[in-house]
Amino acid sequence: MLREIEGQPPTSHFHVVSELDELFSTLELNFFLTKYFEMKDRDGRAVSIYALNYGLWNRYNIEFGRPTGRREFRLYFVERIFYFTPLLREYQKQNQEIRCDYCGEIFGVDKLLSLALFDMLCPKSREGTCKVINLSKRYGEVLDNIRAELLLPQIELGMLETLHNERRDLFAQEIAEELDCSYQLIGERSKNLEERGLIDRIKNDNYRRVYRLRDDAVKEYFEENEDRNLNVPER
């Protein structure tokens, strides 16, 4: 159907099976998503239609709504291309598990509905209760032990990443082009990085200011702990 639409097709809405609504509660609370309505999809499943926040589709040039002019466009939001349930199932598989509090048996999240029918009674021990565990809790201690002085805003992390990748002195404009921001912002944020002992702001032979990554920054952010290497998201 998308091929039959002139111009950029609207992609602001998607649908998932209604039983997964709880996963979106926090995103709704923080206004990233809005539940639009409920209906049956083309396979007869009860699904919930969600719309992206106005700011998101406006920032990323996403066409909002659905096409008009043809009767079949009434079901545009439940086209199979907008069926995101498999993505959420994969997220659950990677980030959640179901564990019995008595015997420790672990079940896949795909067993949640069948377990719920029996009040989460463990089918193996017949005594314990199965509970959904968020795997991020495993890393709670690691997160708690992160040194506060290493935490930097995204733009400053990007500056360090750019200097490390280029492995040479850079002008503010060069860093700005890489991070898609203004060179004035780079100049402003560089003062903070210099005060933290992470970069040097120096004059080259032509008396132009350049930025150089210090060895301490390389050790702290790139070498001593591979798990802590920067992974700056693309803008």
| Domain harbouring 209, CATH code | 1.10.10.10
Mean pLDDT in residue range 59-87: 87
Q: How many domains does the chain have?
A: 3
SS3 content of the chain, % helix, strand, coil (to 5): 45, 20, 35
95 and 55 co-located in one domain: no
Q: Is residue 67 part of a domain?
A: yes
Note the pLDDT tens digit of each residue in 83-95.
998 888 887 777 7
What is the C-alpha separation between 94 and 24, in angstroms, rounded? Answer: 17
Q: Is residue 106 part of a domain?
A: yes
Count of residues in the chain: 235
Confidence band for 175, pLDDT divided at 50, 70 and 90: very high
The percentage of residues in the chain with a pLDDT greater than 70, rounded to a whole number, is: 86
Confidence band for 227, pLDDT divided at 50, 70 and 90: very low
CB of 185 closer than 8 Å to CB of 194? no
What is the C-alpha separation between 217 and 160, in angstroms, rounded? Answer: 8
**Residues facing 113 on adjacent strands:** none
φ, ψ for residue 37, nearest 5 deg: -170, 180
CA-based nearest residue to 175, from 191, 163, 193, 188: 163
Mean pLDDT of the chain: 83
Q: Where in the sequence is the domain holding 169, given as residue range(s)? A: 148-228
The predicted structure's pLDDT at residue 140: 58
Domain C-terminal end among 68, 83, 98: 83
CA-based nearest residue to 92, from 111, 78, 76, 105: 111
The predicted structure's pLDDT at residue 235: 45
Residue 221 to residues 148, 179, 201, 212, 227: CA-CA distances in angstroms?
A: 13, 18, 19, 15, 10
Q: Is the dihedral of CA 87, 90, 96, 98 positive or negative?
A: positive
Does the predicted model carry a pTM greater than 0.75? no
164 and 179 co-located in one domain: yes
Confidence band for 168, pLDDT divided at 50, 70 and 90: very high
Q: Which two tokens stand for residue 29?
A: 């609370």
* Cβ atoms < 10 Å from Cβ of 57: 18
CA atoms within 13 A on the CB side of 208: 8
47 and 107 co-located in one domain: no
Q: Is residue 103 part of a domain?
A: yes
pLDDT higher than threshold 50 for residue 194:
yes
Note the pLDDT tens digit of each residue in 119-161.
899 999 999 999 888 766 555 555 565 555 556 788 888 899 8
